[in-house]
Structure 1
Amino acid sequence: MSDIAVHGVGTSHFGRAPGTDLVTLAWTAVSEALADAGPGPIDAVWVGTVFAPAGVAQRVLRAMGITRVPVVTVENACASGTTAFAEACEAVRTGRYGRVLALGIEQMSTAFDGAITPEDTDPEGATGLALPALYAMAATRYLHDGAVTPAQLAAVSVKNHAHALHNPRAQYSGRYTVDEVLASRMIADPLTLLQCCPTSDGAGAAVVGPARGGAREVGVRGIALRSGAPWGRRSPHVWGYDIVAETAADALAAAGLHAATDVDVVEVHDAFTIGEIVTTEALGLVAPGEGGKAAETGVTALGGAHPVNPSGGLLSRGHPLGATGLAQLAEIVWQLRGEAGGRQVDGARIGLVETMGGGVSALDGNACVVAVLEAP
């Protein structure tokens, strides 16, 4: 049994909600997580967010009566929420605090109109290379090398939108065909609209504490956090592959697992369809060059050998940056408890969360967090 456990989780609904303030979003997630965890004090809080205003952590926590405890805000691009979770776990593991709240929150609909604005002090940003274009470059490389087909890229979107039909908290869902995905508006060639995550608002929360052997506690078997190394022609892989592979190796070793194929259910960072394909290969769920085929043939669908993103993923559940990692975590907790309803993976005992954030010039991603969780 793990020494650290997730005692409770909660999330808001994900979607565009410019009229809903950050306090309300946080209240929804935190109140559910606290009720799920049961009575007990919160000794410290880590909050992950990217674009929220200064002081947002104390502001939303004050509204919930959580004051006079250490509060730390972290920003690690899309991995901000899972970074908050990783730090909460470490605080418990070392005995620094007893029970810790991890919160992720973001309201993207009021921060941007369209894609995230690139940082113009980076060379890529100065040329307007937004993240959709960066992922499109990876997709183009895979297409050029014959590692994926356009239909296989689209199959990821078809799969994840169908998964989200069973997730009432998801921003979007639907039954699409490959042709419909490919015919949707082009965003960054070859990635069409239905292959890109939406602009989203939302919050996610988790209460972490020492494992007590409770019937609904989900153990944290292993967790790892890395920042990206300098990336360029020395790597044979596309952007984002190496940081995921290295972080996953750390987390799996900490969990005492031989490979990602020992895991029953996975939530990965599929901000774009190519992102899921690259990540499943980097994790070692499938062999290099097999990620697209796995989506096309149902290997990574519900009922397949390696179910990926039963929540609908970022493509369909939504991607409010700071909240995403904790929404992924909540999904895996529900899966391991057998509480995921129509999207439940039968017999799931081991789950994995992967979140990778990027955007800093010349690095293979800003940060990546991989966590391995175990059923009660």
Structure 2
Amino acid sequence: MRPVYVLGGAQTDFARHWTREGLGLIDGMREAIEGTLEAAQVDAEQVQSVHVGNFAAERFADQGHLGGLVVEACPALEGRPSARHEAACASGSVALLAARAQLLAGIGDVALVLGVELMRNVPGRLAAQHLAPAAWAPHETEGVDFLWPQVFSDLAEVYARRYGLERAHLVALARQAFANAKRNPRAQTRKWTVGEAELAEDDAKNPVVAGRTRRYDCSQITDGAAGLILASEAFARDWASRRGVSLDAVPRILGVGHRTARMSFRGKLADAEASGSPYVFPQVRGCITDALGQAGLDSWAGLDLVETHDCFTSTFYMAIDHFGLTPPGRSGEAIDAGVVAPGGACPFNPSGGLIGLGHPVGATGVRMVLDLARQVRGEAGDCQVPGAKRAASLNIGGSATTSVCVVVGRG
């Protein structure tokens, strides 16, 4: 398959609270668009289509039709086809897949992908309610105050029942997330103090949110936006030549996987067990193997790092065995061996991930691929994995209803 190139991109500072600054959704979009065009050294007039990832702007900001709002944020984009894409927490990834498909179809040579979410303008309980419809409403959402902490507590219960699960392994993943975020100048928690007392089973410092899920097992409620410029091979070749850069040095999308499972969380789990699958989420596993196969990789061993969807420590744990680093149910072995830690054979979330860096829902999938591109270009700063050439992201929407895996590398 012809490659699609990632020319550059930008991310807002996820620690910022837009409402307290007197800013709104359009301001975050504008900052990300302008930063992306500057980083990619592409003029707005060269952009031929725009794809926006967003989940819940109608709920958080009383705003829909974000494809049109793009033109308000950047008037130079007027006239370009622009549309919003939604797949819960995987909204940014499906926006990227749509842009890539358009380029592969020969419909233009340059696409802007933008992910954005405004989330910190409401109290936490209301934010949780706004996010709940990523599950099957009202069957799974009615009467539940904190749906997602409960759902992913149930995921931890499944691991505990089927394979055994040690709390210490989840704590290790949270510890790693906050430590990695300290090195990321755009991370929401980079200035937080999260020590062993906060990670302990202490109902005062680390209270239970739902079931097995405690405060520091959770990703953050975040305001943020991220953007990317994707380009065809012909455009990227000319772009690189004019800058005296080898095309082989420009990050490219090597493979993608995109699968959809049923909405019902309990239904997914029951179907997986009934089928005899050793994986808790067979479609997530299939999504990953689809992407690796398309990239010409036999296994995770061809990757130098992974940016995964750690909306909770339990999903981080799940991603380890679903990437195949261990047999199903034995993710703890990779954690104990330091395989996913900085300096390990396949570091996970050097950015800090959703727990440490932040999780502006619609922006997360775009931010992940931006981080992959920075890594393979050697431009990830203090988060850099030395010598990184190939990297993958895993972005999930809802209770792993939508899963998207993207492999990025350079020649």
Give TM-score scaled by structure 2 length: 0.85
3-state SS of the aligned residue for 1:143?
helix
Distance 2:254 2:41 in 1: 22
- Give, as a single letter, the amino acid of the residue that structure 2 aligns with 1:218: P
1:282 pairs with 2:319: no
List aligned pairs for 1:1-376, cutoff 5 A: 3-15=3-15, 16-18=17-19, 19-40=22-43, 41-52=46-57, 53-65=63-75, 66-110=77-121, 113-114=124-125, 116-117=128-129, 118-119=132-133, 121-128=137-144, 130-173=147-190, 176-182=194-200, 183=202, 184-211=206-233, 212-213=236-237, 214=240, 215=245, 217-229=250-262, 231-236=268-273, 241-358=281-398, 365-375=400-410
Aligned pair count reads 371
What do residues 151-199 of structure 1 show as CA deviations (whole Å, max 9, x unaligned)?
1111101001101111010001356455531331111221210110111
Distance 2:164 2:193 in 1: 26
Measured after TM superposition, the shift of residue 340 of structure 1 is 1.1
Decide whether the 8 Å contact of 1:12 with 1:26 is kept in 2. no
Measured after TM superposition, the shift of residue 265 of structure 1 is 1.0
Higher helix share: 2
Distance 2:354 2:375 in 1: 17
Decide whether the 8 Å contact of 2:268 with 2:281 is kept in 1. no
Distance 1:239 1:199 in 2: 29
3-state SS of the aligned residue for 1:139?
helix
- Give, as a single letter, the amino acid of the residue that structure 2 aligns with 1:141: V
3-state SS of the aligned residue for 2:393?
strand
3-state SS of the aligned residue for 1:89?
helix
Distance 1:232 1:35 in 2: 45
- Give, as a single letter, the amino acid of the residue that structure 2 aligns with 1:206: L
Measured after TM superposition, the shift of residue 57 of structure 1 is 2.9
Distance 1:240 1:290 in 2: 12
Measured after TM superposition, the shift of residue 127 of structure 1 is 4.6
Distance 2:82 2:137 in 1: 30
Decide whether the 8 Å contact of 1:251 with 1:371 is kept in 2. yes
Measured after TM superposition, the shift of residue 262 of structure 1 is 1.1
Decide whether the 8 Å contact of 1:143 with 1:150 is kept in 2. no
Measured after TM superposition, the shift of residue 318 of structure 1 is 0.6
Distance 2:257 2:304 in 1: 19
What do residues 305-335 of structure 1 show as CA deviations (whole Å, max 9, x unaligned)?
1100000000011111100111111111111
Distance 1:10 1:179 in 2: 35
Specify every segment of 5 or more residues in structure 2 that has no aligned partner in the other structure, as ranges.
58-62
Decide whether the 8 Å contact of 1:86 with 1:224 is kept in 2. no
3-state SS of the aligned residue for 1:233?
helix
- Give, as a single letter, the amino acid of the residue that structure 1 aligns with 2:104: R
3-state SS of the aligned residue for 1:96?
coil
Cα RMSD over matched residues?
2.1
Decide whether the 8 Å contact of 2:279 with 2:285 is kept in 1. no
Measured after TM superposition, the shift of residue 233 of structure 1 is 2.0
- Give, as a single letter, the amino acid of the residue that structure 1 aligns with 2:408: L
Distance 2:280 2:96 in 1: 21
Distance 2:225 2:269 in 1: 35
Distance 1:306 1:222 in 2: 18
Decide whether the 8 Å contact of 1:159 with 1:301 is kept in 2. yes
Change (3 A) 1:9 1:286: farther
Distance 1:285 1:29 in 2: 34
- Give, as a single letter, the amino acid of the residue that structure 2 aligns with 1:64: C
Taking only the aligned residue pairs, the percentage that are identical comes to 29
Distance 1:111 1:51 in 2: 13
Specify every segment of 5 or more residues in structure 1 that has no aligned partner in the other structure, as ranges.
360-364
Q: Which residue of 2 aligns with 1:362?
A: none
Measured after TM superposition, the shift of residue 240 of structure 1 is 6.5
Distance 2:193 2:128 in 1: 28
Give TM-score scaled by structure 1 length: 0.92
- Give, as a single letter, the amino acid of the residue that structure 2 aligns with 1:59: L
3-state SS of the aligned residue for 2:329?
coil
Measured after TM superposition, the shift of residue 140 of structure 1 is 2.0
What do residues 264-305 of structure 1 show as CA deviations (whole Å, max 9, x unaligned)?
011000000010110111121332233234234422111011
- Give, as a single letter, the amino acid of the residue that structure 2 aligns with 1:252: L
